[in-house]
Amino acid sequence: MADLFLGQSMSEAFQFISAGTAHTFTFNFQPDKVVFNNLTHWTSTAGKLPISVWFRGQTTAAHAYQQKVIDSAAAASFNFVDLATNGYTVACTTGGVTAFRALIAGVTAADPVVVTTTAAHGFQTNQIVRITDLGSDMPTARGMDQLNNNRYQIVVLTSTTFSLKDPVSGEPVDGTGYTAWVSGGRVVLETRILSLNNPQVSPYESTPYVPNEYSYDPVTYKLTVGTSVMGADSDVFLIESYKWGKITDLGDLVT
């Protein structure tokens, strides 16, 4: 499921009966903290592990721990056990919102025009972009005046390059006579659909106009939990998961 609540605190809970084996759990948002409560281990028996905790983005030594009963007398004493192995493994899928913009590292005056970005652009073939911050109107002339502030359909060549096409005709953009690129420029993604919502080139009667569907590639937030957390077969669990809307760093508190 897409994480659509960026900046908001969220929580959810699950319960299950363990099979005593590792298992991958899927969450409805990206959790910052997950607590596994082994309700079967909430006893006074020494050696039981009633609580296992995982934190997102922490160091190896602090990302996960368990609370172990070490005193059989009314469960009065507990110890913390580090989960460096066989505990939790993040197993999220890739996807999510595509990058909306990229910086330009080069533009070829060729047929077709090829744009190189400073980092992986994350765009897809047939998406529509707008080229900005080029031309002689900038404080320092940047070249490629003919591209500035225009919309283009793209053909992805590599993770950092794509060529340009006319968004209406679909013809490659011939830049052989364009002003040479000097520096700078931006690429802004204008649509996340893979083609424009224009009628097809063939006659409307034989190929009716059908709007393109909006598509979104969501991230699935997953956590694989090992046997040291999952306990024994038939153990009863309650999971608590939390997403913090904001973490405020108070720095080093000096008295």
Cα–Cα distance between 22 and 240 in angstroms, integer? 18
In a domain, 236, yes or no: yes
Cα–Cα distance between 235 and 37 in angstroms, integer? 10
In a domain, 227, yes or no: yes
Q: Of all helices (H) and strands (E), which one includes residue 153?
A: strand 150-158
Q: Cβ distance 41 to 48 under 8 Å? A: yes
Average pLDDT over residues 156-185: 93
Average pLDDT over residues 135-153: 91
One domain for residues 143 and 180: yes
Least confident among 22-36, 59-73, 111-125, 151-165: 59-73
pLDDT at residue number 2: 41
Instruction: Report the candidate in 149, 151, 136, 150 with the shortest Cα–Cα distance to residue 182.
Output: 136
Average pLDDT over residues 193-200: 47
Quick: pLDDT tens for 77-127: 667 777 666 688 888 776 655 567 889 999 999 999 999 999 888 888 888
One domain for residues 185 and 112: yes
pLDDT at residue number 110: 95
In a domain, 232, yes or no: yes
In a domain, 42, yes or no: yes
Q: How far is CA 3 from CA 63, 112, 198, 220, 242, in A?
A: 22, 38, 31, 9, 13
One domain for residues 88 and 114: no
pTM: 0.55
Mention every residue, 6+ apart, whose C-beta is less than 8 A from residue 64: 52, 53, 54, 55, 82, 83, 87, 88
One domain for residues 185 and 107: yes
Q: Is a pLDDT exceeding 90 seen at residue 193?
A: no
In a domain, 255, yes or no: no
Question: Which of residues 149, 169, 189 is at a domain's end?
Answer: 189
Cα–Cα distance between 75 and 50 in angstroms, integer? 11
Cα–Cα distance between 166 and 102 in angstroms, integer? 20
pLDDT at residue number 83: 67
Q: Cβ distance 149 to 137 under 8 Å? A: no
Q: Is the dihedral of CA 35, 37, 42, 47 positive or negative?
A: negative
In a domain, 78, yes or no: yes
One domain for residues 110 and 150: yes
In a domain, 201, yes or no: no
Q: Cβ distance 198 to 191 under 8 Å? A: no
Helix (H, G, I), strand (E, B) or coil at 64: strand
* φ, ψ of residue 55 in degrees (nearest 5): -120, 140
List the structure tokens of 208: 């009716």
* φ, ψ of residue 105 in degrees (nearest 5): -105, -10
Q: Of all helices (H) and strands (E), which one includes residue 65?
A: strand 64-69
Domain boundaries, position 143: 101-189
Structure confidence at residue 36 as a pLDDT band (50, 70, 90) = very high
In a domain, 204, yes or no: no
Helix (H, G, I), strand (E, B) or coil at 227: helix
Number of domains in the chain: 2
pLDDT at residue number 58: 74
Helix (H, G, I), strand (E, B) or coil at 41: helix
